[in-house]
Amino acid sequence: MIEMTVARIAEIVGGELADITAEDAAATTVTGTVEFDSRAVGPGGLFLALPGARSDGHDFAAGAVAAGAVAVLAARPVGVPAIVVKPEPGAADAASGALEFDTDGSGAAVLAALAKLAAAVAAELVADGLTIIGVTGSSGKTSTKDLLAAVLDPLGQVIAPPGSFNNELGHPWTVLRATPETDYLILEMSARHPGNIAALAAIAPPQIAVVLNVGTAHLGEFGSREAIANTKAELPQAVPASGVVILNVDDTAVAAMAGKTAARVVRVSREPGSEVDVWAGPVALDGLARPRFTLHAGGGQVEVALAVHGDHQVGNALCAAAVALECGAGLEQVATALAGAGPVSRNRMQVATRADGVTVINDAYNANPDSMRAGLKALAWMARQGPGDHAGEPAGDLHGKRRSWAVLGEMAELGDDAITEHDAIGRFAVRLDVSRLIVVGTGRTMNAMHHGAVMEGSWGSESTMVDDADAALALLEAELQPGDVVLVKASNSVGLGALADALVAAEAGSPSPTEMGNADR
């Protein structure tokens, strides 16, 4: 964050000083980072007191100050220097899911103050030359954010959120990581309700916006795909006429957003077209489903070999390339950066091959119908290549096609369509000829996935239901063979990331299911 006195921060957020005099507040400067985890606080920092699942951040304020924080942003006095913002009636609803345990509005009050502080910092940095890039879409936001960070890095200093910091807490927190030395600030924007993206964009208005797709993630919250599209369109609508909007026009709902922005529109597609500005030539996948294609833009072209996995990454890479080109990169520079941009964020299409040839695809962070299909396609492709087709990868002891395993958990927040969508995924796995489906969980949605697979033509033990991740790991440890390929995917709340980690580590001295269950999920 830019250096700022405690007095100035209090003025920006409309807070009152507690346990610090006005004179001391004017003489005390926040020179470090803003943190909501007291364990991350360092010298000169500002600590955010927020409610959590097991404890209230207010209880850790003194410890944060002892660790170096010069002040605390809180909803009540905490016995150490603080800026206090008072909760308002009904404020707890304003957090929109960012703070699940905010029962009295204290968290919402701190979040509102955080947003004001981030907005002030963003405005000052933009005036000094900072470029803000916003990314949204029903799926692929985090992967595209990581690709963006890679292609912009040769052009200057880049700040991007770790993982999926994309809501009312993670978004302003990321904004406050920027400093006067930052050239590009990448912001990932998610939504659970109409107006969420507009509110995030108001904090740090983007000069460049990227819209990837409109799917059915959070359908239970929005009610319809049209409502999701209208909410995603809040991002291009927030870009000024002097800015640029990058649209993946392979999605018709995204293509329609060209008429909803005053900014210049850059269209990307997997196919050439009269109105397409950036596109890919024929796409080929290597043995680990890493795409290769010819990138066309501005009358030039360059060969691109991605280091990330899955055919669906082509659209993400095209959008990242379009942003980099707008920021002044050359085609060769973009191709080189994309070739070196492997998976960064944990549990998102991370591919690891064990010494025995078992390949594990860890995509356990998130799941919706679109990303489930993309993951299953990548699994099926890798299995079809057979052993020995992966440069530098052990061949195992199979001949021809490798056995494929899909270990799938629930797709959350699909509302009334949950049963239908889980049934469809079970059927889709069978149509792709996945060898084994392990359905993790025993609720109605997972029953639907299992029975969908059975009704589509699975028989015997091809589709198996297990109670939890421990049972899934036990089954895999007992039946995996050298050379098999395993996809692990579910919504993050299911906690299958620990299963994938344990599976990768299981080639020698396998951890027991109990040990896996005690891992940090």
Q: DSSP secondary structure string, 489-517?
A: E--GGG-THHHHHHHHGGGSSPPPHHHHH
User: How many CB atoms are closer than 10 A to CB 438?
Assistant: 25
Specify binding-site residues for ATP. 137-143
pLDDT of residue 434: 95
Give me 439's structure tokens: 């359905």
Rounded-to-integer distance, Cα 128 and Cα 121, Å: 11
User: How many CB atoms are closer than 10 A to CB 186?
Assistant: 26
pLDDT of residue 219: 63
Start and end residues for every CATH 3.90.190.20 domain found in the chain: 350-506
Rounded-to-integer distance, Cα 326 and Cα 348, Å: 27
Does 136 have pLDDT greater than 60?
yes
Does 397 have pLDDT greater than 50?
no
Q: Which CATH superfamily is domain 129-340 in?
A: Mur-like, catalytic domain (3.40.1190.10)
Tens digits of per-residue pLDDT, 233-286? Answer: 999 999 999 999 999 999 999 999 999 999 999 999 999 998 999 999 999 999
The stretch 35-55 carries a mean pLDDT of 92
The stretch 89-93 carries a mean pLDDT of 53
Rounded-to-integer distance, Cα 153 and Cα 159, Å: 9
pLDDT of residue 385: 87
Alpha helices in 241-357 (DSSP H): 252-255, 313-326, 331-339
pLDDT of residue 509: 40
The stretch 286-305 carries a mean pLDDT of 96
Start and end residues for every CATH 3.40.1190.10 domain found in the chain: 129-340
Mean pLDDT of the chain: 90
Instruction: Please give the CATH number for the structural domain made up of 4-112.
Output: 3.40.1390.10
Give me 266's structure tokens: 């850059």
Alpha helices in 267-390 (DSSP H): 313-326, 331-339, 369-385
Query: Which is higher by pLDDT, 494 or 205?
Result: 205
pLDDT of residue 343: 82
Q: Which CATH superfamily is domain 350-506 in?
A: Mur ligase, C-terminal domain (3.90.190.20)
For tokens 């020995």, name the residue: 388
The stretch 10-33 carries a mean pLDDT of 97
Rounded-to-integer distance, Cα 210 and Cα 247, Å: 6
3-state secondary structure of 455: helix
Facing residues of 407 across strands? 438, 488
Q: How many residues does the chain have?
A: 521
Tens digits of per-residue pLDDT, 499-520? Answer: 999 999 886 444 433 333 333 3
Tens digits of per-residue pLDDT, 319-369? Answer: 999 999 999 999 999 999 999 998 888 888 999 999 999 999 999 988 999
pLDDT of residue 344: 84
Beta strands in 281-417 (DSSP E): 284-285, 291-297, 300-305, 350-353, 359-363, 404-408
Start and end residues for every CATH 3.40.1390.10 domain found in the chain: 4-112
Does 461 have pLDDT greater than 90?
no
Instruction: Find which of 45-49, 136-140, 215-219 is predicted with most confidence, using mean pLDDT.
Output: 45-49
Specify binding-site residues. 137-143
pLDDT of residue 90: 54
The stretch 84-103 carries a mean pLDDT of 65
* Reported confidence tier of residue 189, pLDDT bands at 50, 70, 90: very high
For tokens 């609720």, name the residue: 443
